[in-house]
Chain A
């Protein structure tokens, strides 16, 4: 399980929750984006509430603010920064005061503020609103310092807001601001603030602590003048008010005896949010026709805000979109999910919905990896035995079939086998190419044997990637051992693979083996032009397994070029390629997400797509014109019986057929029973077959079920239509088959469904075994 510190490190990589530039540039932490959102949505009252919540003396401050947010605005070069300052002034004018802050009885400690500049007034405002009494010493009238610093300020504004301060136990005392007064205040008050814009004896900014603005003892200082880039002095309202606020926090801590520096990281104004600007059209600033904005003008101007946000990964990934959050939140949810001891783990769907394809990591400016996070969570869930069984069960059964006696085989190069020799190369086509394109696998093997020096062996099995993706490390390790045994018995040959996931898995399982992509090898072997009937212009789909395998991607493009295909790159190609939905077993755990991924990716192609991964091909084939490299390369082109992707049952049958054909061709072994010999004659209409696929019901399950049901006679009869119905539970799933008995003694399947729950009396002979579950009930 993740440590909390690890979680924080992971979370920190996602900047989506970081403040936008307008807010980080504001010393008062004004939530400008939310303010503009309110105005754009015609909610000026909400806008004013925000101003009152964030700003001290909001009427004065909005009138004199030098709005650093506008300099930081990302709209600056896209039509001009948002007119935040003018919109704030509009809002203050258009809407009456919204909040009535609670006036608390004064606490024991008292603060002295020397100087009624903007910094001093901000410190007095903030501290008094926390319930401390404040004495504010000023020279002349109490508004004079402000009016001197900001000559254009209308005197009525400070008059009203300073009067309002009196209710919050701020007393204004006219006095000469000198060191004698300072000395008296340090003794008589719990803490003192010196406004540098009003006190000649104030220290320079450098003489105070930058993080706290502490000068000495219980005295803080702020309100200095700022410098323009050309060296001119000016009073920055935002900077002075910001200093008053920062010092105010320190002063409060002095008065309450809290650490002056602890947990103040939030005050650091760091720009962390990444906001992509692609596709943001320039839009000119809306200027008020009169002196200030009308409601409509303000709404239009506020609507220009691009609402700075990152979401770059989310925009690309249907999985990240599905749960309506972003990686930082997902990390937190997965962490909480792993911490559940008793109760519902609601984030299981998050860890199992990721294709582990790595696109988000490639796109993210901070390289946040959902794949690492989700895989880690899966491993943790498996280790603690809380992984939902159904999530990956079918995929793992498929892996077992592909690497079990039914489908897996190894053939030593026949020319070398007789003398006990070993091929220098082993062709490892991968279980899905074996399932989908058996004839082409054999054609490619014949070609490789003919052309490659040193002999070539053939190993058909699963590489183990499903176990890796499912977080089942022990299964992956034991599978790796099986692969290693075969590889060592084969004389430790170089492995040629046609699947990028196999490449990933074999590199993990057999790190000492040399694993090379078939495409690189073929690119070296096929030096001249390749004649084929492929379209002239194609997009290329880079499989997620080849995201970091440049050699693979280059070889595919080189082969395409030799075949006369002009490759036009789709968006998000190469390292940023999107997954077809096969990765990470999401096709098993959450088929809806996997389908959305295939749909989205297929929609990004403007031409027929050339794939180098058979699963990419098979998943795109229904949605757009798709060719696999095997369809254009001379050794294999035209050798496929059909390019229509097989269903789940046909995949298993395809692997068995390949094994039979290979053993017969290269070892002269004929099977006693061919894989397609079934104990009953079964007809499955296409529509029913498609429903079975969706429910992960295999033809083999139906055959076994009907054969078993007919033998035992334990079935129901619908007297209305003569349909029979029975069930069969060969493993953790009960299959129900509704069928008719045909005149020729065969059967036609009408419907099939399944469930995992055990209902005694609803199961066939395996009942006894299953009943043991009752012990736990």
Chain B
């Protein structure tokens, strides 16, 4: 079970409001129910604040959550 590796924002020109720098696709680990997945997400290269777009949260992520809950 693996997530598609790369998820960008749902559109728009997003920056980290605190650091005022554009976001970069950076590998992070998503964790749920004793499982971990590597996934590329838009992240602030300076402070590490990571964005989870709505389409990912309600799409693939929700699917994987449901799957893991049934494991």
Whether A755 and B57, one on each chain, are in contact in the complex, defined by CB atoms closer than 8 angstroms, is: yes
Select from chain B the residue with minimum beta-carbon distance to A348.
B70
* Most chain B CB inside 10 Å of its own CB: which residue of A388, A720, A761: A761
B1-49 contacts to A (CB < 8 Å) = 12-18, 23, 28-32, 34-36, 39, 41, 43, 47-49
A7 at the interface (CB under 8 A from B): no
Per DSSP, are chain B's interface residues mostly helix, strand or loop, or mixed? mixed
Minimum C-beta distance from B31 to chain A (A) = 4
With A390-B69, A715-B17, A717-B17 known as contacts, the answer to whether A753 contacts B58 (CB < 8 A) is yes
Give the number of residues in B that approach A within 8 Å (Cβ atoms). Answer: 37
With A751-B54, A777-B36 known as contacts, the answer to whether A761 contacts B70 (CB < 8 A) is no
B64 / chain A contacts, CB cutoff of 8 Å? 757
A688 at the interface (CB under 8 A from B): no
A376 at the interface (CB under 8 A from B): no
Whether B12 and A721, one on each chain, are in contact in the complex, defined by CB atoms closer than 8 angstroms, is: yes
Whether B17 and A724, one on each chain, are in contact in the complex, defined by CB atoms closer than 8 angstroms, is: yes
Whether B70 and A757, one on each chain, are in contact in the complex, defined by CB atoms closer than 8 angstroms, is: no
Q: How long is the Cα–Cα vector from A773 to B29 in the complex, in angstroms?
A: 12
Q: Which of A211-219, A338-346, A558-566, A602-610 contacts B (4 or more CB under 8 A)?
A: A338-346
Whether B15 and A716, one on each chain, are in contact in the complex, defined by CB atoms closer than 8 angstroms, is: yes
Q: How long is the Cα–Cα vector from A760 to B13 in the complex, in angstroms?
A: 22
A184 at the interface (CB under 8 A from B): no
Whether B31 and A725, one on each chain, are in contact in the complex, defined by CB atoms closer than 8 angstroms, is: no
Minimum C-beta distance from A634 to chain B (A) = 48
A107 at the interface (CB under 8 A from B): no
Contact of B14 among A695, A718, A759, A760 (CB under 8 A): A718
Give the number of residues in A that approach B within 8 Å (Cβ atoms). Answer: 40
A756 at the interface (CB under 8 A from B): yes
Whether A719 and B15, one on each chain, are in contact in the complex, defined by CB atoms closer than 8 angstroms, is: yes
A436 at the interface (CB under 8 A from B): no
Select from chain A the residue with minimum beta-carbon distance to B39.
A759
Whether A777 and B51, one on each chain, are in contact in the complex, defined by CB atoms closer than 8 angstroms, is: no
Minimum C-beta distance from A37 to chain B (A) = 36
A727 at the interface (CB under 8 A from B): yes
A762 at the interface (CB under 8 A from B): yes
B29 / chain A contacts, CB cutoff of 8 Å? 759-760, 774, 777
Contact of A344 among B13, B16, B71 (CB under 8 A): B71
Q: How long is the Cα–Cα vector from A391 to B65 in the complex, in angstroms?
A: 12
With A713-B18, A753-B57 known as contacts, the answer to whether A777 contacts B35 (CB < 8 A) is yes
B12 / chain A contacts, CB cutoff of 8 Å? 718-721, 723
Whether B61 and A757, one on each chain, are in contact in the complex, defined by CB atoms closer than 8 angstroms, is: yes
B32 / chain A contacts, CB cutoff of 8 Å? 756-758
B54 / chain A contacts, CB cutoff of 8 Å? 736, 751, 753
A757 / chain B contacts, CB cutoff of 8 Å? 30-32, 61, 64-65
Whether B31 and A761, one on each chain, are in contact in the complex, defined by CB atoms closer than 8 angstroms, is: no
A287 / chain B contacts, CB cutoff of 8 Å? none
A415 at the interface (CB under 8 A from B): no
Whether B66 and A388, one on each chain, are in contact in the complex, defined by CB atoms closer than 8 angstroms, is: yes
Whether A761 and B48, one on each chain, are in contact in the complex, defined by CB atoms closer than 8 angstroms, is: yes
B57 / chain A contacts, CB cutoff of 8 Å? 736, 753-755
Minimum C-beta distance from A243 to chain B (A) = 52
Interface string of A359-399 (1 = CB under 8 A from B): 00000000000000000000000000000111100000000
Q: How long is the Cα–Cα vector from A314 to B43 in the complex, in angstroms?
A: 50
A147 at the interface (CB under 8 A from B): no
B34 / chain A contacts, CB cutoff of 8 Å? 776-777
A252 at the interface (CB under 8 A from B): no
Q: How long is the Cα–Cα vector from A719 to B16 in the complex, in angstroms?
A: 10
A761 / chain B contacts, CB cutoff of 8 Å? 28, 43, 48-50
A734 at the interface (CB under 8 A from B): yes
Contact of B41 among A718, A721, A762 (CB under 8 A): A762
Whether A717 and B14, one on each chain, are in contact in the complex, defined by CB atoms closer than 8 angstroms, is: yes
Minimum C-beta distance from A36 to chain B (A) = 40
A258 at the interface (CB under 8 A from B): no
Whether B41 and A344, one on each chain, are in contact in the complex, defined by CB atoms closer than 8 angstroms, is: no
Select from chain B the residue with minimum beta-carbon distance to A732.
B32
Contact of B31 among A723, A736, A777 (CB under 8 A): A777
Q: How long is the Cα–Cα vector from A345 to B62 in the complex, in angstroms?
A: 17
A714 at the interface (CB under 8 A from B): yes
B36 / chain A contacts, CB cutoff of 8 Å? 774, 777
Minimum C-beta distance from B30 to chain A (A) = 5
Q: How long is the Cα–Cα vector from A715 to B30 in the complex, in angstroms?
A: 19
Q: How long is the Cα–Cα vector from A720 to B10 in the complex, in angstroms?
A: 13
Select from chain B the residue with minimum beta-carbon distance to A391.
B69
With A713-B17, A719-B15, A759-B50 known as contacts, the answer to whether A774 contacts B31 (CB < 8 A) is yes
Whether A762 and B50, one on each chain, are in contact in the complex, defined by CB atoms closer than 8 angstroms, is: yes
Whether A758 and B71, one on each chain, are in contact in the complex, defined by CB atoms closer than 8 angstroms, is: no
Select from chain B the residue with minimum beta-carbon distance to A345.
B70
Select from chain B the residue with minimum beta-carbon distance to A754.
B57
Q: Which residues of B contact A (CB under 8 A)?
A: 12-18, 23, 28-32, 34-36, 39, 41, 43, 47-52, 54, 57-58, 61-62, 64-67, 69-71
- Name 20 interchain pairs, CB-CB below 8 A, sorted by A: A390-B69, A714-B18, A714-B47, A716-B15, A716-B17, A717-B17, A718-B14, A719-B15, A723-B12, A725-B51, A753-B54, A755-B61, A756-B32, A757-B65, A759-B28, A759-B39, A760-B29, A762-B51, A773-B31, A774-B36
Seed contacts A757-B65, A761-B49; 6 additional CB < 8 Å A-B pairs? A345-B71, A390-B69, A715-B18, A717-B14, A759-B41, A762-B41
Would you list the 7 A-B pairs with minimal beta carbon distance, nearest first? A761-B50, A388-B69, A718-B12, A762-B50, A755-B57, A777-B36, A717-B17
